[in-house]
Amino acid sequence: MLVKLEKLIIGFIFAFSTVSTAMAGGEAEVLHWWTSGGEAKALQVLKDDFAKKGGTWKDMPVAGGGGDAANVTLKSRIVAGDPPTASQIKGPTIQEYDEEGVVAPYHIHAVAKAENWDSLLSSQVSNHMKCDGFTKYCAAPVNIHRIDWFWANKKVLDSHGLKMPTSWDEFNAAASKLQSAGIIPFAHGGQPWQDATVFEAVLLGIGGNEFYHKAIVELDMNALSGPTMVKVFDQMRKLQGFTDKGMPGRDWNVATAMVMNGKAAFQIMGDWAKGEFSNAGLKPGVDYYCLPTPSDHGYLYNVDSFIFYGMKGKSKIDGQKALASSIMGKNFQKIFNIYKGSIPARLDVPMDEFDMCAKGSASDLKYSAMTGGLLPSFAHGMALRNAQKGAMQDVITEHFNSNMSSHEAARRLADAIQASL
């Protein structure tokens, strides 16, 4: 009887301590759109790290690359007065939600201050993460993605005597040769955010760094409607001709798989595509090529981050603090980004264990930052507010999926932006 009682007491103590440990880091309902194989593997690193801090993670995935569907879900939750503990979010949208009064930066800023985030992040990245007039942290950065990448199947290119293109003319010539040989030159998913991803890479290469800044960041009407923009739409029309009939509605990772299995030669996509290659056991330089799309040392960046909303209850606030600290952990930033295909947001993470694509990205980022080529992606929410981004994306997608002329597209692009301001 005493033995049974002792076992009962020990079991009770063990159960109590387990519950206490589980709740020590609080709870967090996390809304995100990382649902592909490589993305899910990377996110698991954050879930595991949060669990080690005693946190309880409630997953809320919303499928759809680029986050458009997730942002609709998030907006409805906020309107209903029931925001998640944290959500994946980017760029100026952080400040938009702060202006709506649904963000609570103070306890997250306390974590940032205690851990000295200002010294761990570049000023360009840290400013994206701040609310209250860019004075207090309300979001935590996970990584830095480069957007302007060419991904290519090495075997396909090698078998046709082709090298990775370093100009748009070289790409067009290679694509024409591949198309004649029965290979799909350009794997693309016909979704608005993917159309915009390709568009901004083309714009950067054809217009140059200053033109990109003037057209996309400054929203200069002459740049948006002028002859250079017409040339950008001309190249988009050529790219459309290099796609296949299955393009409409295709998810980005399905397009990546087409390159991986040799059905298609090239894809233009951010470096999260590398996470798919890595997840399949493929290696850069051996199985596939990675090279920035042609430009004058431009670098389009996207910073994945999580924003923290106003919460009631100690457990939820503790969960936010623990999650913010986990996201900015040095080891997490290394392991997560190796899986994700991106590079760490933290400046002090060694790149020794990263592959050649990531090392090249980190080196290019530093050079572009010094020479004026480090530019925010509009397709991935870093350059524009939602109204302007949506207006621009609508015109790009309509042009890409119709016979609209390049001149008409440039004119309508400027008109749409003007109407959204």
Residue 31 has pLDDT above 90, yes or no: yes
Percent of the chain past pLDDT 70, that is, above it, reads 94
Segment 188-215 mean pLDDT: 97
Q: Would you say 107 and 320 are in contact if contact means Cβ atoms under 8 Å apart? A: yes
The reported pLDDT for the residue numbered 356 is: 96
Q: What is the pLDDT of residues 286-339, one digit of tens each?
A: 999 999 999 999 999 999 999 999 998 999 999 999 999 999 999 999 999 999
User: In the predicted model, what is the mean pLDDT of residues 399-415?
Assistant: 98
Can you tell me the mean pLDDT for 165-193? 97
Please tell me the distance from the alpha carbon of residue 300 to that of residue 390, in angstroms, as a whole number: 19
Q: What does the block give as tokens for 207?
A: 């217009």
Number of H helices, E strands in the chain: 20, 15
- pLDDT score for 4: 38
Give the pLDDT score at 207.
Answer: 98
Which pLDDT tens digit goes with each residue over 71-107? 899 999 999 999 999 999 989 999 999 999 999 878 8
Select from 222, 233, 255, 245 the least CA-distant residue to 66: 255
| Helix, coil or strand: residue 352 | coil
Tell which wins on pLDDT, 68 or 412: 412
Query: Which residue has tokens 């470096």?
Result: 271
Give CA–CA dist 176/190, Å, rounded. Answer: 20
Q: Which amino acid is at 148?
A: D
Q: Region 112-120: what's the mean pLDDT? A: 97
Lowest mean pLDDT among 98-107, 114-123, 278-287: 98-107
Is residue 139 predicted with pLDDT exceeding 60?
yes
Topology agreement, domain 29-145+303-359 and domain 147-301+364-420: yes
> Where do we find the tokens 């996470």?
275
Average pLDDT, the chain: 92
Residue 24: pLDDT band (50, 70, 90) is low
CA distance 361 to 199: 20
Q: Answer for the pair 33, 62: CB distance below 8 angstroms, yes or no.
A: yes
Q: Where do we find the tokens 């010294």?
A: 119
Give CA–CA dist 240/190, Å, rounded. 10
**What's the pLDDT score for residue 11?**
38
| Domain boundaries of the chain, sorted by first residue | 29-145+303-359, 147-301+364-420
CA triplet 398, 400, 404: central angle to 5 degrees?
65
Using the predicted structure, report yes or no on whether residue 6 has a pLDDT greater than 80.
Answer: no
Domain at 147-301+364-420, CATH from 3.30.360.10, 3.40.190.10, 3.10.20.30, 1.20.120.80:
3.40.190.10
Average pLDDT over residues 163-174: 97
Distance from C-alpha of 187 to C-alpha of 266, rounded to nearest angstrom = 6
Q: Does position 19 have pLDDT exceeding 90, yes or no?
A: no
Asked if 23 contacts 52 with a C-beta cutoff of 8 angstroms, the reply is no
pLDDT of res. 16: 34
Q: DSSP state, 284?
A: B
Token pair of 369, please? Answer: 């930052």
d(CA 220, CA 94): 24
The two tokens of residue 39 are: 């993305």
What count of Cα atoms within 13 Å lies in the side-chain half-sphere of residue 339? 18
pTM equals: 0.87
* The CATH homologous superfamily of the domain defined by 29-145+303-359: Periplasmic binding protein-like II (3.40.190.10)
Per-residue pLDDT tens digits for 353-374: 999 999 999 999 999 999 999 9
Radius of gyration over every alpha carbon of the chain, rounded to an integer in angstroms: 23
- Average pLDDT (157-164) is 98
pLDDT at 21 exceeding the cut of 50:
no
Q: Which of 179, 201, 183 is nearest to 258 (CA)?
A: 183
pLDDT at 54 over 80: yes
Q: Kindly report, residue by residue over 246-265, the tens digit of the pLDDT.
A: 999 999 999 999 999 999 99
pLDDT at res. 393? 97
Q: Are 288 and 158 in contact (CB under 8 A)?
A: no
